[in-house]
Amino acid sequence: MNIPIEYYLILSGFMFLVGVAGVLTRRNAIIVFMSIELMLNSANLSLVTFSSYMGNSTGQLFVFFVMTVAAAEAAVGLAIILAMFRNKLTLNIDDINILKW
Amino acid sequence: MLNNFQEFYNIIPILLIGAGFLISLLIEMYFKKSDVILPWFTILIFLAAGFHALYAVNSVSVIFQNMLATGGIVNIFYIIFTFGAAIVALLSIDYIKKYGTYFGEYYILLQTSILGMMLMAGAKDLFMIFLGLELMSVSFYSLAGLNRKRLKANEASLKYFLLGAFATGFIVYGIALIYGTVHSTSIDMIASRFYELSSDKLFIAGILLFLIGFSFKIAAFPFHMWVPDVYEGSPTTIAGLFSTGGKAAAFSAIIVTLGVLFTGRIGNILMPYLAVISVLSMFYGSIVAISQDNIKRMLAYSSISHAGYLLIGLAAGNSFGVAGVIFYLASYTFMNLGAFGIVALIEGKDESNLTLKSFSGLASRYPLLAALFSIIMFSLAGIPPFAGFFGKYYVFIAAIKSNLTWLAILGVLSSVISVYFYLRIVVLMYFKDAETDLKIDVSKTGLAAVIISVLLVIIIGIAPGTIIDLIAFFFK
């Protein structure tokens, strides 16, 4: 039984929108960061889908690059979040507001 | 086909910086005097890479299984990045001691970020765009928050990281949709199939997501919220790099990926998007900059409005416009580095002396600094004999050639508004008495960096024709 490509694309689009909504509405820096990872993973899902339906392996290769880079980004990002928490003892991005015009 | 030796010869700038940062790691580890050696080594690497790019500007080729392009426009971008970064490194020698503790990582991250920019400018495949972008951005996130004890720096790097990673999400999703419709990640394939796919909704959605992601990186209006905060919180020299190298790299990625739109062979279907965000950024940047009291925030809003002028050149969508954008980027890089350089010289311990008040009466005590800063402000405002004027001129002429006269008129109006806040500083420096008791030890290397950038601004302003002809010759 073959699942049509649209199903995967709709799922991936939905995941992407959940990620965007999470970034825009959540106030905790870690949860915002998790939502960003969700966006990257939704892109990975569509890359794999296209790759498998076209019989072209470039997309799957790209997913490996995205995962590796996302891991590097997570390392730097969590370090930044940790440095912030040490100084301020909060991760609520509404409280992180000394820079304002 | 080129042989292997020729391929490696053409990417010597990239190899030099790649080897340079590995050697810098060793210098940092094994030499006690690394804080003296490392800055000069970094500058040497950047200059060597820049001069090689200048020397080999004619060796146009596509190498490594269609992954990288060399020569021509790519080398012109290399020259902008490496010379800009050399000026930043020269400025930093005394600045980072004043700013806080000395960190060897500073120069290493500077080199990796420039490597990322160069991969973006030379990309022939979306793989390279993505890897270069991430190499640049991850280095930038850590550079912004390098002094981890300082709350402002933490906040700047957190904001930069969250919004930068958000933008990356858009870019990756855009790349996924482009790959799904074009069936390849090669930029040549995208260019050759652009016309037949321009009615495919999925493809257009992919291109738009890609552009939205890069609109964050170039700091255009609806995606600009991070810019003032990040520039204010990060070290001044690094803020200079964000506003020049980062912006130039993002523009280079847009130009190489969507280059087919700007050569006039097919219509510029993205014109409405580019024109709208260009007008919004120009006016928003110029108007909000007027109300700023902190000089770094003022320069941040001026950077937003400059992103707007640059987008006019892309909206025009002819090869003349793109040549104008590259010329504008070159002149903007050196004048903005000069501006941030002067701010870095005047800045005291713990981020003091950053308000506009500190600049009043500067001419009576530090006449050289005041004169240099006035030249830079005239150039940023676009007043004729300097480089900034010709950048705007070429971009506006390109818009008129594409029947976008209204866009050029709005651009001129916005630069008239921006003259107010640039010249206000000149007036403060020359016609007001000092309001604060400003005492600074002007660092020699920092002053040299500022003088070099001002000289480059004047040289580009004297001979704009030769430079624009060179760029236009390569952009066919």
**Best-predicted range by mean pLDDT (B90-99, B191-200, B383-392, B407-416):** B407-416
Q: Which residues does residue B355 pair with via DSSP β-bridges, in sequence order?
A: B294
- From CA B316, how far away is CA B54, in angstroms rounded? 28
Contact A72 B134 (CB under 8 A): yes
Q: Among partner residues B131, B138, B157, which is closest to A73 by beta-carbon distance? A: B138
pLDDT at A93 over 60: yes
Residue A10: per-residue pLDDT:
95
Q: Among partner residues B126, B145, B179, which is closest to A83 by beta-carbon distance? A: B145
Q: Which two tokens stand for residue B332?
A: 């903007």
Hey, of A12, A69, A82, which one would you mutate to test binding to chain B, going by the most B CBs within 10 A of its CB?
Answer: A69
Contacts of B176 in chain A (CB under 8 A): 12, 43-44, 46-47, 50, 59, 62
pLDDT at B270 over 90: no
Q: Among partner residues A16, A36, A43, which is closest to B165 by beta-carbon distance? A: A36
Fold of A5-88: Helix Hairpins (1.10.287)
pLDDT at B117 over 80: yes
Nearest chain B CA: its distance from A41 CA (Å): 9
Q: Which residues does residue B186 pair with via DSSP β-bridges, in sequence order?
A: B125
pTM of full prediction above 0.90: yes
Q: Which two tokens stand for residue A25?
A: 């509405």
The domains of chain A are located at: 5-88
Contact A66 B172 (CB under 8 A): yes
Residue B4: per-residue pLDDT:
77
CA proximity to A74, closest of A41, A36, A22: A36
Restricting to B residues 158-187, those with a Cβ less than 8 Å away from any Cβ of A are 158-159, 161-162, 165-166, 168-170, 172-173, 175-177, 179-180, 183-185
Q: Among partner residues A42, A46, A98, which is closest to B180 by beta-carbon distance? A: A46
Q: Given pLDDT bands bounded at 50, 70 and 90, which one contains residue B1?
A: low
Q: Given pLDDT bands bounded at 50, 70 and 90, which one contains residue B290?
A: very high
How do B68-70 and B61-63 pair as beta strands? antiparallel
CA proximity to B137, closest of B119, B167, B113: B113
CA proximity to B372, closest of B462, B451, B452, B456: B451
- From CA B441, how far away is CA B31, in angstroms rounded? 28
Q: What rounded mean pLDDT belongs to chain B?
A: 90
Q: Under a CB-based contact definition with an 8 Å cutoff, are residues B284 and B307 in contact?
A: no
Show which residues on chain A lie within 8 Å of chain B, measured between beta carbons: 12, 16, 19-20, 23, 29, 32-33, 36, 39-40, 42-44, 46-47, 49-50, 54, 56, 58-59, 62, 65-66, 69, 72-73, 76-77, 79-81, 83-84, 86-88, 93, 96, 98-101
Q: Which residues does residue B69 pair with via DSSP β-bridges, in sequence order?
A: B62
Phi, psi (degrees; rounded to nearest 5) at B72? 65, -135
Q: Which two tokens stand for residue B354?
A: 């950053």
Contact B297 A93 (CB under 8 A): no
Q: Given pLDDT bands bounded at 50, 70 and 90, which one contains residue B268?
A: confident
Q: Given pLDDT bands bounded at 50, 70 and 90, which one contains residue A101?
A: very low
Q: Which two tokens stand for residue B401?
A: 């050639």
Q: Under a CB-based contact definition with an 8 Å cutoff, are residues B449 and B84 in contact?
A: no
Q: Under a CB-based contact definition with an 8 Å cutoff, are residues B461 and B379 in contact?
A: yes
When pLDDT is averaged across residues A31-58 and rounded to a whole number, the result is 93
Contacts of A54 in chain B (CB under 8 A): 180, 183
Q: Given pLDDT bands bounded at 50, 70 and 90, which one contains residue B353?
A: confident
Residue B2: per-residue pLDDT:
61
Contacts of B65 in chain A (CB under 8 A): none
pLDDT at B322 over 60: yes
pLDDT digits (tens, 9 = 90+) for B190-243: 989 888 888 889 999 999 999 999 999 999 988 888 999 999 999 999 999 999
Count of CB atoms situated within 10 Å of the CB of B6: 13
- From CA A36, how far away is CA A23, in angstroms rounded? 7
Count of CB atoms situated within 10 Å of the CB of A34: 15
pLDDT digits (tens, 9 = 90+) for B152-182: 889 999 999 999 999 999 999 999 999 999 9
Query: What per-residue string of b and e applies to B57-76 under the rule 16 or more CB within 10 Å gives b?
Result: beeebbbbeebbbbbbbbbb
Q: Among partner residues A29, A43, A86, which is closest to B158 by beta-carbon distance? A: A29
Distance separating the N- and C-terminal Cα atoms of chain B: 21
pLDDT at B475 over 70: yes
Residue A50: per-residue pLDDT:
94
Report percent pLDDT > 90 for chain A. 73
pLDDT at A26 over 70: yes
Count of CB atoms situated within 10 Å of the CB of B27: 17
Q: Among partner residues A39, A42, A84, which is closest to B158 by beta-carbon distance? A: A84
